[in-house]
Amino acid sequence: MSPPTPSFPEAALCAQGLVKHYGPAAGGVRAVDGLDLVLAPASVLTLLGPNGAGKTTTVEICEGFLRPDAGEVSVLGLDPVADGERLRARIGVMPQGGGAYPGVRAGEMLRLIAACSARPLPVGWLLDVLGLTSCARIPFKRLSGGQRQRLALACAVVGRPELVFLDEPTAGMDPQSRRLVWELIAALRRDGVAVLLTTHLMDEAEALADQVVIIDNGKVVARGTPNQLTARSGEQQLRFRARPGMDLDALARALPSGYQAEEPMAGSYLVRGQMNPKVLSAVTSWCADQGVLADEVRVARRSLEDVFLDLTGRELRS
């Protein structure tokens, strides 16, 4: 059951019954279909969904770039379309692709955005924090993908916004850059900023989100904290590494009734079901009978990725 929707003034962002069509209402694409969202102040809400699920359309409605065909949206107590000019100084937007002029230098772009803000963060400090000082004089078109993403993030937060929209903020980044961005997002939340984040990275959602909303075909299919979503089924997992290509049917026969065995990646094995010492012993004994040492054995709940795939399907979508 979804949590009750608070009244608009109590939330940094609140959307109720959002609908958005592309093409004719009859026969067109319903990108968003009766969607509800609530983002509390000083928290991170992560939108998860397959490609084409309606994430970007939902975010663009909340940003005021699109009008919904039905439903209501309140952003910091204001209508994002009718009150767009009043909202602009209070929100930050990080679109996919960077959103900067190709020929402008990185430092110039950030200073331009800062000049439009009443109380900007120090540009030099922000360039340093995001590892951009060395490329401040490089044109945007010559930046790497990760540098473009970090510059876009800097532009989104330099004006000290109350609410930030981050669309795939770590796409194309190396592990060090991702960690740096995660730390900045955590710092924003500590400073009272609300963050609406879309991502395809499940570890990112688990690390950052106070609330996760999974959408598919424009509808909410699950919502809750990462712990609530992964604990809801009560299913546990046993994972271990061993020689690739072992006989899964034979492993399943060695387990008590009702357990399933998989090899999601070569040499990485997964046993599903309620875990107890008997099951653990069965797995390690079976591996020993095959002359194989079970390595990195661990028991855990379902991952957020498992929940996501169970809800949205495991087929690749076009």
Q: How many helices (H) and strands (E) does the chain have?
A: 11, 13
pLDDT digits (tens, 9 = 90+) for 129-157: 999 999 999 999 999 988 999 999 999 99
pLDDT digits (tens, 9 = 90+) for 239-272: 999 999 999 999 999 999 889 999 988 999 999 8
CA geometry: angle 46, 87, 25, nearest 5 deg: 65
Confidence of residue 317 (pLDDT cuts 50, 70, 90): low
**209, 196 Cβ separation under 8 angstroms:** no
Question: For the chain, which residues make up each domain, given as ranges?
Answer: 234-301
pLDDT of residue 279: 93
**59, 25 Cβ separation under 8 angstroms:** no
pLDDT of residue 315: 63
Residue 195: CB atoms within 10 A of its CB come to 26
Residue 223: pLDDT above 80?
Answer: yes
Which residue would you say has higher pLDDT here, 304 or 4? 304
Query: Among residues of the chain, what percentage have pLDDT more than 90?
Result: 69
- Residue 172: name the closest of 98, 117, 115, 243 by CA: 98
Residue 2: pLDDT above 50?
Answer: no
Confidence of residue 96 (pLDDT cuts 50, 70, 90): confident
Most confident of 22-26, 78-82, 116-120: 78-82
Q: Which two tokens stand for residue 212?
A: 């996760």
33 bridge partner residues:
19
Give whole-number Cα distances, 276 to 228, 260, 299, 302, in Å.
22, 15, 9, 16
The answer to whether domain 234-301 has CATH 3.40.50.40 is no
Give whole-number Cα distances, 94 to 23, 105, 152, 154, in Å.
27, 18, 6, 9
Cβ-Cβ contacts under 8 Å for 292 (sequence gap 6 or more): 242, 243, 246
Q: How far apart are CA 307 and CA 291, in angstroms?
A: 34
DSSP string, 248-266: HHHHHHHSPTT-EEEEEET
- Judged by DSSP in three states, 45 sits in strand
Which residue would you say has higher pLDDT here, 298 or 5? 298
pLDDT of residue 287: 95
pLDDT of residue 193: 96
Mean pLDDT of 215-238: 86
Q: Which two tokens stand for residue 312?
A: 């949205």
